[in-house]
């Protein structure tokens, strides 16, 4: 397979993956990146505090609320949202630079972000990752051990609302068995490359 990195005759594709918190979106995206090492990955910016083991520039770009809001005023975000009390955003400069060079990009963003991105990038290929059930989702969130009971309840409420919008996505992948979900997502992405 010929890599598209650096080719100027074809614009890169934009793959968007969304899911409720705890549905396995980050794990699936890491697996896709391992299978397609030439695919670009947009590391989101956030104002939330890093979780244990997270590294700046790898998991997220951790910035201050003041810096984030300044970039809102400057129009520097391809999408941004305030989620669970924190800002999250995707750099418009990064997306345009990569896609203009012919590189495919993978985005791991929420439903709000997907709607904003597809307004500006209507050819985006969208995937929604579903948990098998809300009960399984609750177990996954609780197992992380990073959220209070109130935050978990808010995440479950938000998950219901996000799952109701899965029809807005081109593809829905149920993450019941991790290996099967990885294979399905990778096969779908490969079909567009």
Out of 9-13, 19-23, 60-64, 156-160, give the one with best mean pLDDT. Answer: 60-64
Cβ neighbours of 3 (radius 10 Å): 13
pLDDT digits 0-9 by tens, 55-110: 999 889 999 999 999 999 999 999 998 888 999 999 998 998 999 999 999 998 88
Domain residue limits at 157: 14-192
Q: Quick one: pLDDT band at residue 191, thresholds 50, 70, 90?
A: very high
| Span 134-156, average pLDDT | 83
Give the Cα separation of 127 and 186 in Å (integer).
11
The CATH code of the domain that includes 70 is 3.40.50.300
Categorize the per-residue pLDDT at 6 as very low, low, confident or very high, splitting at 50, 70 and 90.
very low
Average pLDDT, the chain: 89
Query: Does residue 6 belong to any structural domain of this protein?
Result: no
In a domain, 3, yes or no: no
Q: What is the pTM of this model?
A: 0.80
Confidence band for 144, pLDDT divided at 50, 70 and 90: confident
Burial 163-188 (b: 16+ CB within 10 A, else e): beebeebebebebeeeeebbebbbeb
Number of domains in the chain: 1
Residue with tokens 């009960």: 135
Per-residue pLDDT band for 141 (boundaries 50, 70, 90) equals: confident
5 inside domain? no
Statement: residue 34 has pLDDT above 80: yes
How far CA 170 is from CA of 26, 80, 118, 137, 167, in Å, comes to: 19, 21, 12, 22, 8
Nearby residues of 5 by Cβ (< 8 Å), 6 or more positions away: 38, 101, 102, 103
For residue 125, tell me if it sits in a domain. yes
Please check whether residue 177 lies inside any domain of the structure. yes
Give the pLDDT confidence score for residue 3 in this predicted structure.
41
Structural domain contains residue 2? no
Q: Higher-confidence residue: 144 or 55?
A: 55
If you average pLDDT over each of 7-21, 80-94, 106-120, 179-193, which comes out highest?
179-193
pLDDT for the residue numbered 7: 44
User: What is the pLDDT averaged over residues 33-53?
Assistant: 93
In a domain, 7, yes or no: no
């Amino acid at each position: 397979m010929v890599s598209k990195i650096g080719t100027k005759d074809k614009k890169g594709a934009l793959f968007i993956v969304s899911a409720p918190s705890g549905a396995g979106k980050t794990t699936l995206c890491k697996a896709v990146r391992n299978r397609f090492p030439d695919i670009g990955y947009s590391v989101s910016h956030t104002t939330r505090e890093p979780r244990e083991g997270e590294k700046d520039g790898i998991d997220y770009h951790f910035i201050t609320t003041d810096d984030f809001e300044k970039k809102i005023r400057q129009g520097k975000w391809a999408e941004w949202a305030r989620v669970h009390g924190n800002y999250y955003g995707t750099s418009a400069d990064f997306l345009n630079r990569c896609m203009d060079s012919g590189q495919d990009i993978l985005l791991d963003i929420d439903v709000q972000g997907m709607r904003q991105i597809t307004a500006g990038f209507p050819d985006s290929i969208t995937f929604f990752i579903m948990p098998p059930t809300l009960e399984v989702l609750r177990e996954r969130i609780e197992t992380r051990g990073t959220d209070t009971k109130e935050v978990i309840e808010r995440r479950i409420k938000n998950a219901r609302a996000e799952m109701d919008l899965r029809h807005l996505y081109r593809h829905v992948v149920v993450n019941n068995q991790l290996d099967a979900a990885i294979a399905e997502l990778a096969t779908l992405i490969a079909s567009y490359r």
